[in-house]
C-alpha cells in the first residue's frame, strides 16, 4: 500500500533508473473491462476491453548500419570480457574505496586493459606526431630530410613516382571513405539528439495513456457489475411479463387450437341458425301458397262435381274418380327440422363465446398472476443483488489506484521538463555539431590537398624535363602534397585527443551499458539481491514470491497483463471478490420456496358439452327425405291433365253444360299456371336451401366432434401439466438471471487476468530509451570517433607518401640529368662472292 511513498524516495538516474521507476509505478494495479449486456435466453457476444492507442516503439537508426559491425567488432576486440557484476557490486557498496583499495583498482585496470592499450597508443600518437612534425619541419628548413631541393634522376624514377602516386591515391580514397562516414555519423547524431525529445515524449505519452486507462478499466469492470445487477433487477421487476409470456407460450400449442375450434363452432351455429330461420320462413310461405291454391282447386272441383252430377250430362260419371283426385292437400312435415333447430338454439343460448372469454381470461391473466405470486420473491432477490454490488465494490477500494494519478502527474512533469530544457540541449547540440563538422572539413581539406596534388602534379609534369625546369603546375601539385602533410602534422594529434575522449565515453557506454542491456546481463545485474539496500520488488509489493525486473520487463515486452506480470493474484483474492455463490444460492432457495399457483379453468362446462353432444346427435338424425319427397310431389302436380279430360267431355254435352265445363277447365289451367309461376320456384329454392342445410348439419356434426376432442385434450393438458410448466419456466427464468451473474464473473476474471493493463508501454519506454541512447546516439558517436580514428591512422602513410611524392613534382634548385646513351657499333654485313 505504501509503494508509491517509498518509490519516490528511491534514488535513480540514467536510462536504468528511469526504467526502474516506470516499472515500479505499476506494482499493485488490478484490471478492468468493458462488458456487454447479456440477454436471455441467448447471451450477446461480449466485447474485449478497448486498449488505448499507442505511438509504438521507436525504430532503430539504420543509416550507420554499415559501420556498426566494424565498431562492434573493434570494441569486442578491445573489451571481450563479460559484464563485471562483481566489480560493480564492490563499487556500489563503497564508492570511496575505489581509490584506496589497490586490489580493486588493479581488477578495474585489468578489466579495462584493452581500453588502456588503446589509450596508450593514442597518447603515443598524440605525443609523437607533433614531435615528428616539428623535427621534420626543422630538418627540412635546414635542408635535410628531403629539404634539399635536389632530386637524383635514375632509370627507375618514373616507376617509383607512379608507385607512390597510386599508393597515395589508394590511401586518400580510404581517408575519404572515413571522412564520408564522419559526415554521415555526425548528421545521424544530430538528428538523433534533436528527435530524442519528441520520441521520448511519445513514449512517455504512451505511458501516461496507459496509466490513465488502468483506473478507467478497473472502474468499467466494477461498473459492469452494477449494470448487470440493474439488468437482473429490471428483469425481476418485469417477471410477470417475461415469465408469464413463457408460460403462455407453453399453453398456446394446445389451448389455442381448442379455443379456435370453439370459435368456429360458434360461428357455424350462428350460420346454421340463420339458415334454419330462412328455411322455416320459406316453408311457411310455401305452405301458405299451397293452402291458397288448394282453396281455389276446391272451388273449381265443387262446381265441376255439381255440373257433372246433372242428369243431362252425358258420360260424366266417368270423371267421378278424377274429381276425387283433384286436390292439393299437402302439409309439409318439419318435425326433425324443428328438433335440429331447437338443439342449435340451445347451443346459441348457452353462449359459447362466454366459455371462450372465460378461458382467454385465464390465459391473459397469467402475467398478472405471476407478478402477484412473486412479489415477495422479487423483493428478497433485489436485496441479495444489492449485496452482490457491495461485495464487488471493494475491488476498486483495495487497489492503490490513486498512486497512478501521482505517476501520471510525474510523467506530465517529465514531459514538461523535456520541453523546457530542449532548447538549451538543442543549442549545445548545434555547437557540438558545428565543431564536429569543422573536424570533418579539416579531414576533407587534407583529402582535397592530396587529390589536388595527385591531379595537378601529373598534369604539369613532363618526365624528360630537367627537375629545375618543371612547370608551375607541377610545382603547385607538389606544394598541395606538402600542404596535406603539413595539415596532417598540425591537426592529427589534436584530433586524436578527441578520438580518445569519444572512445572512452562511447566505447565504455556500449560495453558497460548497451551490450549488457541487449544480452540481458544488465537486468540480471539489477536483479542481484542486495544491490539496492532495503529494496526487493516482491516484498515491496507484499508478494510471497520474488519478483525480478528482468522477468517484469520480458513480460511487458510480450504485452502481458499486470495480473500475471506483477503476480497480483498474491495480493488480491479475485475468486473471493467475485464469488457471489452465497447470494445466488439464496436467490435460488427463494425461488424454490415460491409457488406460483394458476387458477383452474374449464374450457367448456359439462352442461355445454351435453348441449354440444345433443346438437351433434340432432344434426346426425336430421332427415330431409320426407321433406324432399313432399317437394317432389308438389313438382309433379299437373291440373292440365284433368282439364284436358273435362274439355274433351264438354264436346259431347249440351251447350249450357258445355259452357260450364269449359269455363271450369279454363280456371283449372289458370290454377296450374299459377302453381308453375309461384309454387314451383319456391319448391326449387327450398330444395336448394334444404341441401345447404344438410351440408351445414354435417359440418356442425364434424365440428362438434373436433371441438369435443380438442377441448378435452386441452383440458387434460391444463389439468396435468400446468404445475410442471410453471415450475419449469420459473426455473428457466431463474437460471437465465443467474447466468447474468455467472457470465459477468467469468468475463471479469478473464478481463482482469488476461486483458487488463497490458504493460507493453512500460517496456516501450525502456526500449525507446535504449533505442535513443544506445542504438541511435551511442552508435552514431562510436561511428564518428571510429571514422575519425580511421582517418588519423591513415594520415601516417599519407604523410610519408605525400612528402616523398611531392619531390617528384616540385621545382628543384639543383640539376641532376640522367643520360641513357647506348654506343652502337657497325657490324659489317656478309656478302656473297660472285665468280
Report yes or no on 614 lying in a domain.
yes
Per-residue pLDDT, 624: 65
Cβ neighbours of 53 (radius 10 Å): 8
Asked if residue 706 has pLDDT above 70, the reply is yes
Average pLDDT over residues 783-810: 89
What are the cell numbers at 165? 602516386
Average pLDDT over residues 539-556: 74
Per-residue pLDDT, 772: 86
Q: Compute the distance between CA of residue 15 and CA of residue 624 in angstroms, rounded to an integer.
A: 113
Average pLDDT over residues 768-785: 88
Q: Compute the distance between CA of residue 26 and CA of residue 232 in angstroms, rounded to an integer.
A: 35
Report yes or no on 750 lying in a domain.
no
Compute the mean pLDDT over every residue in the chain, rounded to the nearest whole number.
75
Per-residue pLDDT, 321: 76
Instruction: Check residues 787 and 320 and name the one with the higher pLDDT.
Output: 787
Report yes or no on 388 lying in a domain.
no
**Measuring CA to CA, how many Å separate 397 from each of 427, 596, 825?**
48, 41, 121
What are the cell numbers at 126? 598524440
Instruction: Check residues 495 and 200 and name the one with the higher pLDDT.
Output: 495
Confidence of residue 1 (pLDDT cuts 50, 70, 90): very low
Q: Which residues of 755-765 are buried (b: 16+ CB within 10 A; e: fewer)?
A: bbbbbbbbbbb
Angle subtended by helix axes 366-373 and 375-392, to nearest 10: 60
User: 216: helix, coil or strand?
Assistant: helix
What are the cell numbers at 703? 365440428
Cβ neighbours of 709 (radius 10 Å): 12
Per-residue pLDDT, 25: 33
The string of pLDDT tens digits covering residues 549-592 is 788 888 888 888 877 887 777 777 776 666 666 666 766 766 66
Per-residue pLDDT, 101: 76
The string of pLDDT tens digits covering residues 207-229 is 888 888 887 777 777 777 777 77
**Measuring CA to CA, how many Å separate 615 from each of 180, 265, 639?**
117, 11, 42
Angle subtended by helix axes 760-770 and 14-24, to nearest 10: 170
The string of pLDDT tens digits covering residues 346-371 is 667 666 777 777 777 777 777 777 77
Lowest mean pLDDT among 91-95, 186-190, 772-776: 91-95
Asked if residue 440 has pLDDT above 90, the reply is yes
Q: Compute the distance between CA of residue 57 and CA of residue 60 in angstroms, rounded to an integer.
A: 9
**Measuring CA to CA, how many Å separate 48 from each of 32, 51, 209, 277?**
10, 9, 18, 74
Instruction: Check residues 462 and 190 and name the one with the higher pLDDT.
Output: 190
Q: Compute the distance between CA of residue 407 and CA of residue 28 in angstroms, rounded to an integer.
A: 13
Q: Compute the distance between CA of residue 618 and CA of residue 340 in angstroms, rounded to an integer.
A: 5
Per-residue pLDDT, 47: 57
Per-residue pLDDT, 332: 66
Asked if residue 418 has pLDDT above 70, the reply is yes
Per-residue pLDDT, 596: 64
Lowest mean pLDDT among 399-413, 441-455, 743-757: 399-413
User: 150: helix, coil or strand?
Assistant: strand
Report yes or no on 606 lying in a domain.
yes
Average pLDDT over residues 301-319: 79
Instruction: Name the percent of the chain lying above pLDDT 70.
Output: 75
Tell me the whole-structure pTM to 2 decimals: 0.63
Whose cell is 525504430? That residue is: 59
Report yes or no on 176 lying in a domain.
no
Report yes or no on 267 lying in a domain.
yes
Instruction: Check residues 5 and 604 and name the one with the higher pLDDT.
Output: 604
Instruction: Check residues 253 and 182 and name the one with the higher pLDDT.
Output: 182
Instruction: Check residues 132 and 254 and name the one with the higher pLDDT.
Output: 132
Whether cis (ω within 30° of 0) applies to the bond prior to 181 is no
Say if CB 37 and CB 44 are below 8 A apart.
Answer: yes
Per-residue pLDDT, 543: 67
Asked if residue 301 has pLDDT above 50, the reply is yes
Say if CB 664 and CB 646 are below 8 A apart.
Answer: yes
Per-residue pLDDT, 172: 93
Average pLDDT over residues 2-23: 33
Asked if residue 438 has pLDDT above 80, the reply is yes
Confidence of residue 119 (pLDDT cuts 50, 70, 90): very high
Please name every residue paired with 785 in a beta bridge, in sequence order, or none if there are none: none
Whose cell is 309461376? That residue is: 677
Q: How many domains does the chain have?
A: 1
615: containing domain:
257-363+600-718
Confidence of residue 815 (pLDDT cuts 50, 70, 90): low
Q: Compute the distance between CA of residue 826 and CA of residue 89 in angstroms, rounded to an integer.
A: 95
Cβ neighbours of 539 (radius 10 Å): 12
Asked if residue 758 has pLDDT above 60, the reply is yes
Say if CB 780 and CB 70 are below 8 A apart.
Answer: no
Alpha-carbon dihedral sign for residues 279, 284, 290, 292: negative
What are the cell numbers at 351? 353462449
Confidence of residue 123 (pLDDT cuts 50, 70, 90): very high
Say if CB 188 and CB 780 are below 8 A apart.
Answer: yes
Closest residue by Cα to residue 290 from 803, 675, 605, 738: 675
Burial label, 457 (beta-carbon count in 10 A; 0-12, 13-18, 19+): buried
Asked if residue 186 has pLDDT above 70, the reply is yes
Q: Compute the distance between CA of residue 415 and CA of residue 300 in angstroms, rounded to an integer.
A: 133
Cβ neighbours of 331 (radius 10 Å): 9
Average pLDDT over residues 117-123: 93
Per-residue pLDDT, 37: 36
Q: Compute the distance between CA of residue 706 and CA of residue 686 in angstroms, rounded to an integer.
A: 30
How much of the chain is helix, strand and coil, in % rounded to 5? Answer: 75, 0, 25
Closest residue by Cα to residue 258 from 724, 718, 727, 720: 718
What are the cell numbers at 622? 336430421
Asked if residue 426 has pLDDT above 60, the reply is yes
Confidence of residue 21 (pLDDT cuts 50, 70, 90): very low
Whose cell is 589534436? That residue is: 494
Asked if residue 31 has pLDDT above 60, the reply is no
Say if CB 549 and CB 23 are below 8 A apart.
Answer: yes
Instruction: Name the percent of the chain lying above pLDDT 90.
Output: 11
Per-residue pLDDT, 789: 92
Asked if residue 826 has pLDDT above 60, the reply is no
Asked if residue 294 has pLDDT above 70, the reply is yes
Instruction: Check residues 564 and 29 and name the one with the higher pLDDT.
Output: 564
Report yes or no on 672 lying in a domain.
yes
E strands, 442-558, are none
Per-residue pLDDT, 179: 93
Say if CB 57 and CB 764 are below 8 A apart.
Answer: yes
Per-residue pLDDT, 200: 84
Average pLDDT over residues 290-299: 82
What are the cell numbers at 349? 343460448
Q: CB neighbours of 773 closer than 8 A, spacing ≥ 6? A: 15, 513, 514
**What would you measure as the largest C-alpha separation in the chain, in angstroms?**
217
Report yes or no on 628 lying in a domain.
yes
Q: Compute the distance between CA of residue 397 and CA of residue 577 in angstroms, rounded to an integer.
A: 12
Whether cis (ω within 30° of 0) applies to the bond prior to 41 is yes
Average pLDDT over residues 823-830: 48
Q: Compute the distance between CA of residue 530 and CA of residue 518 in angstroms, rounded to an integer.
A: 23
Per-residue pLDDT, 832: 45
Say if CB 418 and CB 766 are below 8 A apart.
Answer: no
* DSSP label at residue 753: I
Per-residue pLDDT, 425: 83
Asked if residue 97 has pLDDT above 80, the reply is no
Average pLDDT over residues 141-153: 60
Per-residue pLDDT, 12: 32
User: 470: helix, coil or strand?
Assistant: coil
Q: Compute the distance between CA of residue 666 and CA of residue 657 in angstroms, rounded to an integer.
A: 14
The string of pLDDT tens digits covering residues 448-490 is 999 998 888 888 777 666 667 677 888 888 888 889 888 999 9
Q: Compute the distance between CA of residue 282 and CA of residue 288 in angstroms, rounded to an integer.
A: 10
Amino acid at each position: 500500500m505504501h509503494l508509491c511513498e517509498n518509490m519516490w524516495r528511491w534514488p535513480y538516474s540514467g536510462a536504468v533508473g528511469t526504467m526502474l521507476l516506470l516499472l515500479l509505478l505499476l506494482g499493485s494495479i488490478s484490471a478492468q473491462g468493458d462488458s456487454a449486456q447479456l440477454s436471455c435466453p441467448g447471451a450477446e457476444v461480449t466485447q474485449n476491453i478497448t486498449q488505448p492507442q499507442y505511438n509504438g516503439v521507436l525504430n532503430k537508426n539504420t543509416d550507420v548500419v554499415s559501420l556498426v559491425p566494424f565498431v562492434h567488432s573493434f570494441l569486442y576486440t578491445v573489451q571481450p570480457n563479460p559484464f563485471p557484476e562483481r566489480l560493480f557490486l564492490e563499487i556500489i557498496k563503497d564508492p570511496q574505496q575505489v581509490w584506496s583499495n589497490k586490489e580493486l583498482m588493479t581488477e578495474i585496470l585489468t578489466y579495462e586493459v584493452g581500453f588502456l592499450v588503446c589509450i596508450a597508443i593514442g597518447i603515443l600518437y598524440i605525443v609523437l606526431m607533433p614531435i615528428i612534425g616539428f623535427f621534420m619541419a626543422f630538418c627540412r628548413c635546414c635542408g635535410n630530410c628531403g629539404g634539399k631541393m635536389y632530386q637524383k634522376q635514375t632509370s627507375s624514377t618514373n616507376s617509383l613516382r607512379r608507385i607512390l602516386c597510386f599508393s597515395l591515391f589508394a590511401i586518400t580514397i580510404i581517408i575519404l571513405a572515413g571522412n564520408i562516414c564522419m559526415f554521415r555519423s555526425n548528421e545521424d547524431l544530430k538528428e538523433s539528439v534533436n528527435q530524442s525529445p519528441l520520441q521520448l515524449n511519445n513514449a512517455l505519452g504512451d505511458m501516461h495513456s496507459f496509466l490513465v486507462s488502468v483506473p478507467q478499466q478497473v472502474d468499467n469492470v466494477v461498473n459492469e457489475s452494477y449494470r448487470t445487477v440493474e439488468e437482473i433487477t429490471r428483469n425481476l421487476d418485469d417477471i410477470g411479463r417475461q415469465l408469464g409470456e413463457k408460460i403462455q407460450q407453453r399453453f398456446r400449442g394446445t389451448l389455442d387450437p381448442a379455443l379456435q375450434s370453439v370459435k368456429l363452432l360458434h360461428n357455424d351455429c350462428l350460420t346454421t341458425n340463420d339458415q334454419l330461420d330462412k328455411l322455416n320462413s320459406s316453408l311457411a310461405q310455401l305452405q301458405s301458397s299451397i293452402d291458397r291454391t288448394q282453396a281455389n282447386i276446391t272451388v273449381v272441383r265443387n262446381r265441376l262435381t255439381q255440373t257433372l252430377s246433372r242428369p243431362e250430362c252425358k258420360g260424366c260419371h266417368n270423371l267421378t274418380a278424377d274429381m276425387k283426385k283433384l286436390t292439393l292437400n299437402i302439409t309439409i312435415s318439419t318435425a326433425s327440422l324443428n328438433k335440429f333447430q331447437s338443439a342449435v338454439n340451445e347451443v346459441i343460448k348457452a353462449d359459447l363465446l362466454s366459455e371462450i372469454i372465460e378461458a382467454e381470461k385465464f390465459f391473459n391473466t397469467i402475467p398478472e398472476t405471476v407478478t402477484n405470486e412473486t412479489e415477495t420473491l422479487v423483493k428478497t432477490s433485489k436485496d441479495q443483488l444489492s449485496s452482490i454490488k457491495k461485495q464487488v465494490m471493494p475491488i476498486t477500494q483495495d487497489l492503490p489506484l490513486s498512486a497512478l494519478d501521482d505517476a501520471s502527474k510525474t510523467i506530465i512533469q517529465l514531459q514538461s521538463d523535456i520541453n523546457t530544457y530542449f532548447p538549451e540541449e538543442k543549442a549545445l547540440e548545434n555547437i557540438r555539431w558545428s565543431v564536429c563538422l569543422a573536424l570533418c572539413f579539416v579531414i576533407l581539406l587534407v583529402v582535397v590537398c592530396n587529390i589536388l596534388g595527385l591531379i595537378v602534379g601529373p598534369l604539369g609534369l613532363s618526365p624528360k624535363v630537367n627537375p629545375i625546369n618543371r612547370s608551375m603546375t607541377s610545382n603547385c601539385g607538389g606544394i598541395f602534397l606538402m600542404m596535406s602533410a603539413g595539415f596532417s602534422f598540425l591537426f592529427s594529434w589534436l584530433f586524436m585527443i578527441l578520438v580518445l575522449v569519444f572512445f572512452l565515453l562511447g566505447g565504455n557506454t556500449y560495453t558497460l551499458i548497451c551490450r549488457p542491456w541487449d544480452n540481458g546481463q544488465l537486468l540480471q545485474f539489477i536483479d542481484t539481491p542486495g544491490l539496492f539496500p532495503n529494496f526487493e520488488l516482491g516484498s515491496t509489493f507484499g508478494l510471497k514470491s520474488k519478483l525480478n525486473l528482468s522477468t517484469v520487463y520480458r513480460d511487458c515486452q510480450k504485452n502481458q497483463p499486470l495480473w500475471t506480470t506483477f503476480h497480483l493474484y498474491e495480493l488480491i483474492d479475485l475468486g473471493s471478490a467475485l464469488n457471489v455463490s452465497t447470494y445466488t444460492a439464496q436467490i435460488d432457495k427463494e425461488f424454490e420456496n415460491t409457488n406460483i399457483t394458476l387458477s383452474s379453468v374449464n374450457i367448456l362446462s359439462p352442461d355445454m358439452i351435453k348441449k354440444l353432444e345433443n346438437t351433434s346427435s340432432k344434426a346426425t338424425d336430421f332427415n330431409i327425405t320426407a321433406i324432399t319427397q313432399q317437394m317432389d310431389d308438389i313438382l309433379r302436380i299437373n291440373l292440365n291433365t284433368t282439364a284436358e279430360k273435362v274439355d274433351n267431355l264438354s264436346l259431347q254435352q249440351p251447350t249450357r253444360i258445355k259452357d260450364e265445363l269449359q269455363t271450369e277447365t279454363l280456371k283449372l289451367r289458370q290454377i296450374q299456371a299459377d302453381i308453375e309461376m309461384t309454387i314451383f320456384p319456391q319448391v326449387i329454392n327450398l330444395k336448394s336451401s334444404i341441401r345447404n342445410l344438410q351440408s351445414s348439419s354435417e359440418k356442425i356434426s364434424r365440428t362438434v366432434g373436433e371441438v369435443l376432442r380438442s377441448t378435452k385434450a386441452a383440458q387434460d393438458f391444463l389439468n396435468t401439466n400446468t404445475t410442471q410448466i410453471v415450475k419449469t419456466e420459473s426455473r428457466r427464468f431463474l437460471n437465465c438471471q443467474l447466468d447474468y451473474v455467472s457470465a459477468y464473473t467469468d468475463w471479469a476474471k478473464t478481463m482482469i487476468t488476461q486483458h487488463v493493463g497490458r504493460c507493453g508501454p512500460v517496456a516501450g519506454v525502456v526500449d525507446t530509451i535504449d533505442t535513443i541512447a544506445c542504438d541511435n546516439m551511442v552508435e552514431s558517436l562510436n561511428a564518428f570517433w571510429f571514422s575519425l580514428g580511421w582517418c588519423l591512422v591513415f594520415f601516417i602513410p599519407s604523410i610519408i607518401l605525400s612528402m616523398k611524392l611531392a619531390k617528384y613534382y616540385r621545382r628543384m634548385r639543383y640539376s641532376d640529368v640522367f643520360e641513357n646513351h647506348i654506343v652502337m657499333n657497325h657490324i659489317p654485313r656478309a656478302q656473297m662472292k660472285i665468280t
